[in-house]
């Protein structure tokens, strides 16, 4: 089911890493947060409780797989998980690797900027994104089969 005017129904929502009949995983093009991913339910639903138990389980297993891939590949200080949907009411989870030297830490990525990280640090993290993309695709494909 697609909904007219919904940003996540009308586009991938980022750089597509993996897609199947149920969900897709994308990387968000955010200069401050390399490795920022979204797990997006393909059908237009607003809330987790609109999914049956099996679908909820599948979605959360995909979120956890993305988190694991980020931890293995990027070694962040923390992973932030968020499902807000206030601006885009289409079920999706943000999976965001955080580092103590990132631009907003310890604030949320949508909070107040705390610093400008050294360019070399961000560049080094960006260099790991291809490896992360491969790891996410491999990990999520194993658990998120339709």
Q: What region does 13 belong to: left with phi over 0, alpha with psi -120 to 50, or beta?
A: left
116: tokens are 């400008």
Give the model confidence (pLDDT) of 18-35 as tens digits: 999 999 999 999 999 999
Q: Please check whether residue 1 lies inside any domain of the structure.
A: no
- This prediction's pTM: 0.94
pLDDT of residue 73: 97
Model confidence at 38: pLDDT above 90: yes
* Domain count for the chain: 1
Q: Please check whether residue 78 lies inside any domain of the structure.
A: yes
Chain mean position to CA 109: 13
Q: Which helix (H) or strand (E) holds 71?
A: helix 53-74
* CATH code of 135's domain: 3.30.428.10
9, with CB counted inside 10 A (0-12, 13-18, 19+), is middle
Model confidence at 142: pLDDT above 90: no
Give the model confidence (pLDDT) of 57-88 as tens digits: 999 999 999 999 999 999 999 999 999 988 99
Distance CA 80, CA 58 (A): 19
**Domain coverage including residue 62:** 7-143
């Amino acid at each position: 089911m697609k909904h007219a005017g919904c940003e996540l129904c009308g586009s991938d929502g980022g750089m597509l890493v993996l897609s199947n009949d149920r969900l897709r995983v994308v990387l968000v093009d955010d200069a401050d947060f390399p490795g920022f991913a979204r797990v997006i339910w393909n059908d237009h639903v607003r809330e987790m409780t609109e999914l049956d138990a099996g679908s909820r389980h599948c979605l959360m297993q995909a979120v956890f797989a993305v988190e694991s891939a980020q931890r293995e590949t990027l070694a962040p200080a923390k992973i932030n998980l968020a499902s807000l949907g206030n601006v885009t009411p289409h079920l999706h989870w943000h999976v965001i690797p955080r580092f103590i030297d990132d631009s907003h830490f310890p604030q949320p990525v949508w909070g107040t900027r705390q610093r400008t990280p050294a360019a070399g640090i961000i560049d080094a993290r960006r260099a790991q994104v291809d490896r992360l993309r491969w790891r996410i695709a491999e990990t999520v494909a194993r658990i998120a089969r339709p």
